Amino acid sequence: MKNIFLNIHGFGSSGSNSKAAALAQVFPDYNIISPDLPPDPQESLAIIEDNVLENCDKPLVLQGSSMGGLYSLVMHMRHGVPALLINPALAPGDLIAAKVGEPYEFSNGDSIIVSEEHAERFFTVQREVEDGVMAGMVDGRQILALIGEQDELLDQNRMKDILRRAGAGIISYDTDHRFSIFEEVLGSDGRVRDFLVGAH
């Protein structure tokens, strides 16, 4: 049976993001699940977890970008699902806390004012990742991270430090936070293709 891809978009994006489109273009014969996620991290994790559990008897592989990379790593820790992380935002509480009081617009036109409560919800997820890494809950053979060294949003040295402590595989590219070369990477980098189709 071919792997099923569960695509997890980043904060403010949607299930029809460019990463889902790239998967569909490069792997037209594979089943792709790509849900729309709300701003709240716990609600997002609940939706993702429902999808993971619904497919627990199938060869599922997660692909998460930015905040979706964070969520994918959490699902790996909880359920052992292989995950491709694209510029994962592994310290989300710090990112969201810096935006408290500011409006944030989503790709579907909705907007929110970022609150301290919102930031604390992301700190809760951040702590789950930190605790999981310390407890050795990551199988490094099942995690591959793609890092854009020109990322304008994340401190990639910090992200790589977390990933190395987790034992994850890391491949660096000369690209930005949006990882705009993703479709090209899928088509040309055998390491990434082999991970997606060969995990399990």
Any domain includes 40: yes
Any domain includes 170: yes
Answering whether pTM is above 0.85, one says yes
Any domain includes 182: yes
Total domains in the fold of the chain: 1
Split the chain (200 residues) into runs of 10 and give each run's mean pLDDT: 94 93 96 94 97 96 97 98 98 92 80 90 97 97 98 96 97 96 96 91
Any domain includes 102: no
Query: Could you tell me the CATH number of the domain that includes residue 67?
Result: 3.40.50.1820
Please name every residue paired with 144 in a beta bridge, in sequence order, or none if there are none: 84, 169
Instruction: State phi, psi for 49 to the nearest 5 degrees.
Output: -65, -40
Print the domain residue range for 143. 4-89+136-198
Around Cβ 147, how many Cβ atoms within 10 Å? 20
- The pLDDT value recorded for residue 112 is 85
Any domain includes 37: yes
